[in-house]
Structure 1
Amino acid sequence: MKKSEDMKKVEEARDVMVSALAQTMVIYGVTPSVGRIYGVLYFAEEPMSLDDIKEEVAMSKASVSNGMRELLETEMVIKVWKKGDRKDHFIAEKDFMRNFINFFVKNLRQERSLIMKANEQAKPILKEIAENSSGEASQVAKRDLESLNNSLAYFDWTMRLANALESNEIFNYIPKTEKK
């Protein structure tokens, strides 16, 4: 009898942690439901199928599948093969540092890509107006071109940061702390 009460307490403690993981993922723009899926996998003792996860998080299979796709894209979960079962199974990447780096670098690269594409579209138009117009339009176009050119330093820095994170070079400057 005592053991089942202790297991109940363990499950309650896990629920607290899963809820906290779900809430913190919101900070990074991830929905709480995706955070709950990750939390369940984080504490799972063996790989879980979509059906297993669906039961644990009380969500539809479609919602779980969409959440898993998001977690796979950021490499927070890994698809694994389970002998004797044709279903896909998943485990959580438990290294929070690795999760952060993967997520952060992906977002930095996406931000740069979006802005650089817009920059490529806007720059020729602004350059044309700055060089061939007069008056207010020319002055505004010149200021906007200067702003676009100034932003390039930021994107250069963010790509160097992303590269330092991916290569682990960042830890030469900000070392990881040892587990206690």
Structure 2
Amino acid sequence: MILLSNEQETMDQARDMMISAIAQSMVIYGVTPSIGRIYGVLYFSSEPLTLDEIKDQVAMSKASVSNGMRELQETEMVTKVWKKGDRKDHYIAEKDFLRNFMTYFIKKIRQERNLIMKAAEQVEPILEDVANHTTDQYVKEKAQEDLALIKDSYRYFDWTMRLANAMESGEVFNYLPKTPEE
């Protein structure tokens, strides 16, 4: 049994508090606290960790850790790395919070746009057909109102795509520098 010094215990408690805060903050972005804890453990790790090592630190099943890792890899918050002499997969965290934030939001902005635009492409011709061929004035007005709402949403999606592109290219930092001194 290894006895930890008071300083080590204090440092571990402080680290656990930060990992907990990271996990709680990720809930704001729709990530479960357990996945947030996985990320937090990797964030504070000075070396790549295996699924088993992560599992032991977060007290979760290996399957849950594996699923969490897949989600973190999809958002580019975690990367799988090769470690010489070991056949197991190892993982490291992207430690740049700003990069994580931007990658996450760019992905979500594009997902939102794709969902709504796909539906709009299907619905617009239907509403146009109804508006152009119905003899019911009320139905015609409602179809035209719905078409106007859909067309109005295109300005929003144009703006969000320009925002995502400016974030991806780094152009956004021309208007909002990473630090006040820039």
TM-score of the superposition, structure 1-length normalised? Answer: 0.96
Give 4+ residue runs of structure 1 displaced > 4 Å after superposition.
Answer: none
Displacement of 1:178 in angstroms is 6.7
Q: Distance in 1 between matches of 2:71 and 2:32?
A: 10
1:84 aligns with 2:85: yes
Distance apart, 1:136 and its partner CA: 1.1
Aligned mates of 1:9, 1:77 — CA distance in 2: 27
CA offsets, 1:38-80, max 9 Å, x none? Answer: 0000001110011110000000111101100110000001111
CA offsets, 1:8-56, max 9 Å, x none? Answer: 1010000000000000000000000000000000001110011110000
Within the candidate set 157, 166, 172, 2:174 is matched to 172
Query: Does 1:107 find its partner at 2:147?
Result: no
Q: How does 1:112-127 map to 2 (within 5 A)?
A: 112-127=113-128
User: What residue number does 1:6 align with?
Assistant: 7
The SS at the match of 1:45 is: coil
Q: Quick one: distance in 2 between partners of 1:157 and 1:27?
A: 23
Describe how 1:16-31 pairs up with structure 2 within 5 A: 16-31=17-32
What amino acid does structure 2 have at the position aligned with 1:103?
Y
| Matching residue's letter, 2:117 | M
Structure 1, unpaired ranges of 5+: none
Q: How many residues align?
A: 178
In structure 1, the residue matched to 2:144 is 142
State the alpha-carbon separation in 1 of the partners of residues 18 and 44 from structure 2. Answer: 9
Residue 5 of structure 2 aligns to a residue whose secondary structure is helix
In the alignment, the residues of structure 2 paired with residue 3 and residue 81 of structure 1 have an alpha-carbon distance, to the nearest angstrom, of 31
| CA distance, structure 2, for counterparts of residue 155 and residue 36 of structure 1 | 33
How far off its partner does 1:3 sit?
7.1
Q: CA RMSD in A?
A: 1.4
Q: Could you tell me how far apart the structure 2 residues matched to 1:150 and 1:82 are? A: 52
